[in-house]
Amino acid sequence: MPSPQLADAVGEHREKHADRVALSCCHRSVTYQQLDDLTRTFADRLRRLPLAPGATVCVPAHKSPETVALLLAVFRQGLVALVPSPDLGAEALARLSRRARASHLLGADEQGSVSAEPVEPDEAEAAGFAVPDPARTRLLLTTSGSTGTPKIVPIPVDGFTAFADWAGHAFHLTGDDVALSYAPLNFDLALLDVWTFLRLGAHVVLVGKEQAADARHLRELVAGRGVSFVQGVPMLHRLLAQDAEATFPAVRQAVFTGEAMPADLLPSVFAAFPEARLHNVFGCTETNDSFIHEVSRTRAGERMPIGRPLPGVRALVVGVDGTPLEGAGGGELLVSTPFQTGGYLERSLNDRVFTEIDGRVYYRTGDLVTRSADGLVHLEGRADWQVKVRGIRTNLQEVEAVIATHPDVAEAVVVALPDDQAGVRLHATVTRRPVAALTGLALRSYAGARLPRHAIPASVHITDQPLPRTSTGKPDRNRIRADRMKETSAA
Amino acid sequence: MTAQDIADEIRAFIAAEFLAGEDASDLTDDYDIVASGVIDSLGLVRLVSHIATAYRVPVDGIDITPDNFRTIAAITDLIGEHSEPVAA
C-alpha cells in the first residue's frame, strides 16, 4: 500500500485495540474496529461490481474516513486505486480515468454508501499509457502540474513498505502517536501522515480542505486531539505558531516540507513546539522523501538546507557539462530512492526525467542545489524555470514569453526574488523598443489580461539599454537577479 | 480635503508602497490596480489599513472586496462616502 498488507494491518490493530481511534475529522472519530468493519463492508460492495481482477478504479481524494476505508477496501480486493484531487473538474477526471483505464469512478459518503459509475473506456485516449500492474502498485497518485492534465505516478508496493519502515524508525513512531494530516490525500505526504500511521495502528487527524486556513480550528485540533506529529508546508506552521500564546508540548516531531521554510518563522515554531524534534524534509511524488535535515534550535542559520540523503538514497549533483560532481559544487540534483516510482504511466514522459547511471535509475528533480565539502545540500532554485509564487507553480519562461509579445517590448527577462510572504515574487527587466513610451504599469495591464494574477510581475524595470549578456550571448539572468536584489536591499 | 486631494494622496501612497522607484505616470484615476497585479490580497490589506487610519474610514462598515479598490477613483469615492467627520 498502499498494499494489500495495509488492510491486513488494520485488521490486526482491530484485534488488539478495537476501541483505539484510527481516524478523526472535525466532528467525529472512527475506531480501528469501525474502520475495519467499514473496509469489509466496502470490500463486499466492490466484490458485487463487475470488476476484472486487478482492475483500476478511480477514487477522488476526499479527506474523509469513508474515503480512507474505501481505499483500504480497494487494496484488500487486489485492485488499483487512481487517486486524483477531489477538485478536478468532471471532464479532467474522466480524461484521467480513461488514461489509467479505470473501469469505475468510486465514492463513499458519510452514511457509508458506495457510489460506482462506470467509466467509458477509450483506447485512443489510453494509448501510450502503461496498464497499472497490481502486483507492483495499488496506488496511482497524480502530480499537480500548473497546466494540462496531471501526470499519473504509480506508487510501488515495496517502495511504500520501505518508506513506512524508514519513517517509523526516523521519527520513532508507535501506535500511540497522533498525526495531523494537513495535506490533501492525493499528495505523497499522505504516504507518511495517513498510511504509515494506520500501518502502525496510530491515530490520524484528518484536516479537510475547508478548515485548511482556519488557524483557530487547527490549533484546537493539535491541542485537543493530542497530536504528536505535525507535517506540512510553512503555511501550516505559520498558522499554528503565529499566535505566540499557543504552545503544543505534546508534539514530539514537526516536519517542514513542500517549500523553503522562512527563517523569520523559526523562532515562533520553536516556541510553539517546545518539546519537538524538528526536521526539514525534501521529496516529491516521483521519489517520495529523499533528503532530511534536523533543525537545530540553537544553530539554525538564515538558510535552511535540505540536508543529506536518507538511508539508501543516492544523490548526484550534475554540473552544466552533464557529469556528476565529486564533493562540493553546484548543479542539478538527481536522486535515486528505495521508494521511487517505476515511471509515469504515460511512457513518453519517462525518458526526459528518469535516467540510468551505473545501473541505478535516477530521477532528475529539476532542482538546482549546492553541496558543501561536508555533504550538506542547499536548494538554490529550479533548472526548468519553475518557481512557486504563493504556493502556485509558475513558469518564468511562460511569463517572459507573454511579456515579449507586447509590441513595445524588445526583450524581457523575468526572475524570481525571495519574498517573506509570497515565497518568491516575480521581477521583470524589460528593454523597450526605440521611441516606445512603455511603462511598467502599461505592461502590467497587458500581462494582467493574459496571465493568472500570481504570474504578473510584482516589480517591473523598464530600460532603453540592452540587457546584460553572458559569454554565450544569452541574457544574463543571474546578474539581473543579483543586481535587482542589491538595489532593493539598499533601498 | 477635496476629492482630487484624496485621489492624489492615494496615488502617492500606491506609488510609494507598491511601485517603488517605477514610473507612475500611467497611474491614472481609472487604472485597474487589481487586474494588473499592482496590489494583491496582501497589498489590499495594507491599502485598507492605510485608508482606515488616514481617512477615519470605519473598516467594519465597508466591503473589502477587490471591486471597491479596483481604481483610485473607486477608492476616492469609498473614502468620500464613509469617512467620519473630524471633530473640530
The CATH number for A345's domain is 2.30.38.10
Minimal Cα distance from B38: which residue of A? Answer: A458
The CA dihedral of A129, A339, A180, A199, to the nearest 10 degrees, is 100
Residue A353 and residue A470 share a domain: no
Q: Is A322 helix (H, G, I), strand (E, B) or coil?
A: coil
| Residue B87 domain-assigned (yes or no) | no
Q: Is the pLDDT of residue A341 over 80?
A: yes
* Banded pLDDT at A357 (limits 50, 70, 90): very high
pLDDT value of position A436: 84
Tens digit of pLDDT for each residue in A178-196? 999 999 999 999 999 999 9
Q: Considering its fold, how many domains does chain A have in total?
A: 3
> CB distance B19–A458 less than 8 Å?
no
Q: What is the DSSP string of A221-274?
A: HHHHTT--EEEE-HHHHHHHHSSTT---TT--EEEE-SSPPPGGGHHHHHHHST
Distance, in Å, from the CA atom of A366 to the CA atom of A356, rounded to the nearest integer, reads 16
**A267 inside 8 A of chain B by CB:** no
The predicted-structure confidence for A278-296, as pLDDT tens digits, reads as follows: 999 999 999 999 999 999 9
Whether B21 maps to a domain, the answer reads: no
DSSP string for A128-170:
TBPPP-TTTEEEEEEE--SSSSPEEEEEEHHHHHHHHHHHHHH
Q: Tell me if B38 and A441 make a contact (CB, 8 A cut-off).
A: yes
Query: What is the per-residue pLDDT for B88?
Result: 44
Same structural domain, A197 and A171: yes
Residue B46 maps to a domain = yes
pLDDT-derived band at A256 (thresholds 50, 70, 90) equals very high
Mutate to test the interface with A, among B31, B40, B71 (most CBs of A within 10 A): B40
Residue A321, pLDDT > 90, answer no
- Decide if A307 is inside a domain: no
Q: Residues B1-59: pLDDT tens digits? A: 888 999 999 999 999 999 987 889 999 999 999 999 999 877 888 898 899 889 988 87
Residue pLDDT, tens place only, B24-40: 999 999 999 999 999 98
Residue among A390, A429, A439, A441 with most chain B CBs within 10 A, to mutate: A441
Residue A258 touches chain B, beta carbons under 8 Å: no
- Asked whether residue A9 is domain-assigned, the answer is yes
CATH number, domain with residue B53: 1.10.1200
Q: What is the mean pLDDT of residues A159-172?
A: 97
A193: domain CATH number? 3.40.50.12780
Residues A362 and A400 in one domain: no
Distance between CA atoms of residues A48 and A41, nearest Å: 11
When CB atoms are compared, the residue of B20, B23, B42 closest to A439 is B23
Question: Does some domain include residue B78?
Answer: yes
Are the beta carbons of B37 and A421 separated by less than 8 Å?
Answer: no
pLDDT band with cut points at 50, 70 and 90 for residue A491: low
Residue A138 belongs to a domain: yes
Nearest chain A alpha carbon to B42: A421
Task: Kindly state whether residues A452 and A344 are assigned to the same domain.
Answer: no
> Would the CB atoms of A448 and B27 count as touching at under 8 Å?
no
- Is A437 touching B (CB cutoff 8 A)? no
Say if residue A465 is in the same domain as residue A327: no
Name the residue of chain B whose CA is nearest to A461's CA.
B22
> Which residues of chain B does A436 touch, with a Cβ-Cβ cutoff of 8 Å?
none
**pLDDT value at A114 more than 60:** yes
Q: Which of A212, A229, A262 is the last residue of a domain?
A: A212
In contact, A82 and A100? CB cutoff 8 Å: yes
Q: What are the residues facing A459 on neighbouring strands?
A: A427
ipTM of the complex: 0.88
Tell me phi and psi for residue A381, to 5 degrees: 155, -165
User: What's the domain range around A464?
Assistant: 386-490
Half-sphere exposure of A347 (CA within 13 A, CB side): 7
Are residues A373 and A396 located together in one domain of the fold? no
Half-sphere exposure of residue A143: CA atoms within 13 angstroms, side-chain side = 22
Are residues A155 and A53 both part of a single domain? yes
- CB pair distance less than 8 Å for B22 and A459: yes
Judging contacts by C-beta atoms under 8 Å, the chain A residues touching residue B27 are: 441
Cα–Cα distance for residue pair A257/A238, rounded to 1 Å: 13
Taking the Cβ of residue A489 and every Cβ of chain B, the question of whether any pair is shorter than 8 Å is answered with: no
**In chain A, what residues touch B24 (CB-CB under 8 Å)?**
441
Gap from A444 CA to chain B (nearest CA, Å): 5
Q: Are residues A366 and A484 in the same domain?
A: no
A444 touches chain B (CB under 8 A): yes
- Asked, for residue B52, whether it belongs to a domain, the answer is yes
Report the pLDDT averaged over residues A31-55.
96
What is the arithmetic mean of pLDDT over A414-435? 88
Q: Convert the pLDDT of each residue in A376-391 to its tens digit.
A: 999 987 777 778 887 7
Whether A453 sits inside 8 A of B40 (CB atoms) is yes
CATH value at residue A415? 3.30.300.30
Report, as an integer, the average pLDDT of A297-312.
90
In a domain? residue A172: yes
Partners of B32 on chain A (C-beta within 8 Å) are 445, 448
Q: Do residue A339 and residue A356 come from a single domain?
A: yes
What is the model's pLDDT at position A322?
Answer: 80
> What pLDDT was estimated at residue B86?
57
A59, pLDDT greater than 60: yes
Same domain, A113 and A91: yes
Residue A420 has pLDDT above 90, yes or no: no
What is the per-residue pLDDT for A444?
A: 95
**Do A429 and A330 lie in a common domain?**
no
Q: Each residue of A443-477: pLDDT tens digit? A: 999 999 888 888 899 999 999 999 998 777 778 88
Instruction: Tell me what the mean pLDDT of segment A120-129 comes to.
Output: 94
Res A146: pLDDT: 42
Using CB atoms within 10 Å of the CB of residue A218, give its burial: 0 to 12 exposed, 13 to 18 middle, 19+ buried: buried
pLDDT confidence band for A302 (50 / 70 / 90): confident
Q: Does the residue A305 lie in any domain?
A: no
Nearest residue to A336 via CA among A143, A151, A188, A159: A159
Task: Report the greatest alpha carbon distance in chain B.
Answer: 40
The B-side interface with A (CB below 8 A) comprises 19-27, 31-32, 35-38, 40, 42
**Which domain covers residue B49, as residue numbers?**
3-16+28-82
Residue A86 confidence (pLDDT) above 90: no
CA distance B32 to A421: 23
A349 shares a domain with A479: no
Residues of B whose CB is below 8 A from A445: 31-32, 35-36
Cβ contact B36–A459 (<8 Å): no
Would B22 be classed as within a structural domain? Answer: no
Domains held by chain B: number = 1
- Which residues does B23 contact at the CB level (< 8 Å), separation at least 6? A439, A440, A441, A462
Question: Burial, A28: exposed, middle or buried (Cβ in 10 Å; 0-12, 13-18, 19+)?
Answer: exposed
Average pLDDT, chain A: 91
Nearest residue to A7 via CA among A102, A79, A59, A57: A79
pLDDT digits (tens, 9 = 90+) for A203-213: 999 999 888 87
Residues of chain B positioned with their CB less than 8 A from the CB of A414: none
**Which residues in chain B have their CB less than 8 angstroms from residue A392's CB?**
none
CB contact under 8 A, A453 and B26: no
A39 within some domain:
yes
Q: Which residues does chain B have within 8 Å of residue A440's beta carbon, measured at their own beta carbons?
A: 19, 22-23
Position B76 in a domain: yes
Residues in chain A with CB shorter than 8 Å from the CB of B42 are 421-422
| Closest chain B C-alpha to A259 CA, distance in angstroms | 20
Asked if B38's CB is within 8 angstroms of A444's CB, the reply is yes
Q: Are strands A308-309 and A360-371 parallel, antiparallel or unpaired?
A: unpaired
- On whether residue A226 sits in a domain, the answer given is no
Report if residue B59 sits inside a domain. yes
End residue of a domain, out of A212, A243, A276: A212
> What's the half-sphere exposure (Cβ side, CA atoms, 13 Å) at A254?
29
Beta strands in A313-357 (DSSP E): 314-318, 329-336, 354-357
Q: Does residue A285 sit within a domain?
A: no
**In the A/B pair of chains, how many CB contacts fall below 8 A?**
52
